[in-house]
């Protein structure tokens, strides 16, 4: 085998703006929002009949930079570069990959930190509440803009998996196959509780100022604590024990103060500080609330029990150590989809990394997703 490195896949962040007044998008809440901009990136080529589109839905604080590099000199690839690219499970030699930043985020798409055209200032807490349904509705505008009438497959983990399920519930005619990973049809009380503690950490910071902190010091401490809380839920007891145990950080004895003795304390503080440098506190408030509002079982019945879903092929994946969205929630998705007559495959992958396992290189997951997409592409 040649040791020659393959050339970097260079990608470009693009922007799509729609819902210009007076044709604003009507949100789940009844509010109207416009104009709306979505940041998005694509890899691969759309074939002539536009049947090879694969939509990637990112998790809570992710972005559109799913794979590749922004330049030949760039040293940091997209967040799922191990999964997407030439010859990889989502093979961009065969598929046209699309990933957009969700509505309400701060990574290029319209959100609380965006300029409100009515005031010329950032929206802040004047930004309307958005839901997973709204995020998917906005993505539909983008997919239609790209001229795609039916998506060959869509996949995403966590909040990305919620978007996959919402797509199937709301626009089944546009979906050929779907891969929801490490996700759920609705948040448990425990998941809502962790999100609320994170939100309170932000809103209790004196610099939050009711969401109107733009142009001055932001709620950095509260946002860092919120990220620390969230990060704990993404890991597992086994992974934390393996990585940190009770090892001390740069010392051989206790300091007998609160500066942080243990490696795990230092790690969480680092993760909090790193997050503050890249993410907006208000966006985290809005996105976590959207996750809490997500509920496909609300009302008269489960929205996935629908004959219109019977043509969609599903691959549902969970991880053994995920306690945020444990396997029983994925099994409930499988059971519900079978009631719709859908062809459903399911696998629980034995992985010790907790909820974040779907972002880690995993040979079994690679084979599952690569094989599934290969079968779907031959059926198109």
Residues known to be catalytic: 158, 322, 355
* Cα distances (angstroms) measured from residue 75 to each of 67, 115, 270, 271, 339: 12, 31, 20, 20, 46
- Two structure tokens written together for 62: 């992710």
Evaluate whether 132 touches 294 at the Cβ level (below 8 Å): yes
Sign of CA dihedral 237, 164, 113, 202: negative
Which residue's entry shows tokens 């997973």?
Answer: 132
Evaluate whether 192 touches 217 at the Cβ level (below 8 Å): no
Taking alpha carbons only, the member of 254, 46, 229 closest to residue 151 is 46
User: In the chain, what is the straight-line distance between the N-terminal and C-terminal CA atoms, in Å?
Assistant: 34
Distance, CA of 108 to CA of 14 (rounded, Å): 9
| Element at 36 (helix H, strand E) | strand 36-43
Evaluate whether 312 touches 176 at the Cβ level (below 8 Å): yes
| Exposure class string for 136-165: b at 16+ Cβ within 10 A, else e | bbbbebbbeeeebeebbbbbbbbbbbbbbb
Distance, CA of 223 to CA of 231 (rounded, Å): 12
Longest dimension (CA), the chain: 67
* Cα distances (angstroms) measured from residue 273 to each of 160, 198, 208, 279: 24, 15, 17, 10
Q: What angle do CA 163, 297, 351 make, to 5 degrees?
A: 55
């Amino acid at each position: 085998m040649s040791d020659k490195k393959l050339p970097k896949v260079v990608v470009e962040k693009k922007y799509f703006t729609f819902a210009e007044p007076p044709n604003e998008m009507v949100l789940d809440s009844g509010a109207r929002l416009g104009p709306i901009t979505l940041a998005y990136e694509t890899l691969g080529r759309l074939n002539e009949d536009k049947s090879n589109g694969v939509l990637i839905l990112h998790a809570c604080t992710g972005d559109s930079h799913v794979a590749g590099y922004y330049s030949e000199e760039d040293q940091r690839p997209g967040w799922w570069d191990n999964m997407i690219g030439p010859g990889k499970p989502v093979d961009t030699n065969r598929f046209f990959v699309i990933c957009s930043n969700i509505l309400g985020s701060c990574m290029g798409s319209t959100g609380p930190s965006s300029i409100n055209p009515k005031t010329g200032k950032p929206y802040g807490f004047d930004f309307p509440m958005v839901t997973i349904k709204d995020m998917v509705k906005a993505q539909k505008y983008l997919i239609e803009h790209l001229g795609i009438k039916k998506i060959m497959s869509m996949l995403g983990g966590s909040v990305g998996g919620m978007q996959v399920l919402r797509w199937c519930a709301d626009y089944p005619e546009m979906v050929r196959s779907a891969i929801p990973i490490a996700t759920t049809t609705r948040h448990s009380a425990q998941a809502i509780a962790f999100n609320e503690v994170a939100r309170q950490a932000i809103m209790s910071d004196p610099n939050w100022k009711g969401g109107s902190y733009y142009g001055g010091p932001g709620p950095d401490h509260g946002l860092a604590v919120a990220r620390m809380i969230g990060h704990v839920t993404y890991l597992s007891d086994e992974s934390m024990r393996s990585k940190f145990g009770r090892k001390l950080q740069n010392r051989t004895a206790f300091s007998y103060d609160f500066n942080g003795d243990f490696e795990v304390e230092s790690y969480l503080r680092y993760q909090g500080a790193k997050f503050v440098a890249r993410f907006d506190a208000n966006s985290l408030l809005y996105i976590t609330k959207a996750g809490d509002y997500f509920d496909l079982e609300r009302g008269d019945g489960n929205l996935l029990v629908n004959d219109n879903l019977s043509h969609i092929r599903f691959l549902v994946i969970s991880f053994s150590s995920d306690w945020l969205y444990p396997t029983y929630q994925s099994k409930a998705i499988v059971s519900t989809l079978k009631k719709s007559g859908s062809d459903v495959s399911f696998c629980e992958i034995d992985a010790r990394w907790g909820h974040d396992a779907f972002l880690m290189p995993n040979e079994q997951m690679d084979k599952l997703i690569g094989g599934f997409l290969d079968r779907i592409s031959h059926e198109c």
